[in-house]
Amino acid sequence: MAHPKLPEWPIIDPNNPPSGYLEVACVMDPELTSAPWHFYVSGNHLLIVRKKWVQFDENDPGEFVSGQYEYPIGAARWFLATLDRFFLEPDHPNAVPRGEITIEEDVDGETLGVTRGAQYGSVLKGIPGYSLDNLNRFEHTSFGPSTNWCQMFKMGDPWLFEHGLLDVFKDIAERHERGEF
C-alpha cells in the first residue's frame, strides 16, 4: 500500500546551509568516502544530506550532485529502538515478527520504517545493512525526485556497528531529548 507523499523538501547545500539549519553531525560512510553525510536539524526535522563533485573522467566537465533524506526529529530515537527489535530472539514478543524484514510506524505524523537489506552497505561488495525509511517522502537528488520508491537511507552493518554511526543517532537522540534543539 503506497503512502501519501509530502511535498519535496528543498535540498540544502551542506556547505552553505540556509539559516535555521543546525548541523548536528558529519560522518563518512566507509563505503562512500568521496564526501561525508551531514546531519542537520531544522525545526522538528532531521535532515541527512550529502553533496559531492561528480566527474567521471577528464573529458567530463563535472558537477555537484546532492541527495537528501528528511525525517521528524523523533526518528533518531525511534530508529535506535526499532533497530533493537531486529536483534531480539525471533520469538520475543517485541521482536520483529517472524517473516517480516521491515517495521513501519507513525513517528510525529510521518510513517517511518526500518528495513533489513542484503546489500544496503554496498551493492559492489554485497554488504548487508539497515535502512531508515520515510514512507511519506520520495527519494530525491538535486536532479529531482524519483517517484516510485520512498526515501530509504541505507547503512551497512559495518558503518552502523563498527564505524560509529549508531552512536551518532544516539547522540542526536539524547541531545534532542535534552532540549538542545
Contact positions toward another protein, by CB under 8 A?
1-3, 5, 31-32, 34-35, 50-52, 54, 56-57, 63, 65-67, 86-87, 89-90, 95-96, 98-102, 104, 111, 113, 115-120, 122-128, 133, 135, 138-139, 141, 143-144, 146-150, 152, 154, 157-158, 161-162
User: How many Cα atoms sit within 13 Å of 15 on the Cβ side?
Assistant: 8
Judged by CB, which is closer to another protein: 25, or 29? 29
CA distance 151 to 35: 20
Burial class (CB in 10 A: 0-12, 13-18, 19+), 20: exposed
Torsion of CA 132, 152, 105, 130, to 10 degrees: -40
Q: How far is the CB of 80 from another protein (least distance, A)?
A: 14
Judged by CB, which is closer to another protein: 26, or 118? 118
Judged by CB, which is closer to another protein: 87, or 93? 87
Q: How far is the CB of 179 from another protein (least distance, A)?
A: 33
Q: How far is the CB of 52 from another protein (least distance, A)?
A: 5
Q: How far is the CB of 107 from another protein (least distance, A)?
A: 14
Q: How far is the CB of 116 from another protein (least distance, A)?
A: 6
Q: Strands, DSSP E only, in 80-109?
A: 102-107
- The H or E element spanning position 86 is helix 75-86
Edge-to-edge strand list for the sheet holding 22-29: 22-29, 32-42, 45-54, 63-72, 127-141, 110-122, 102-107
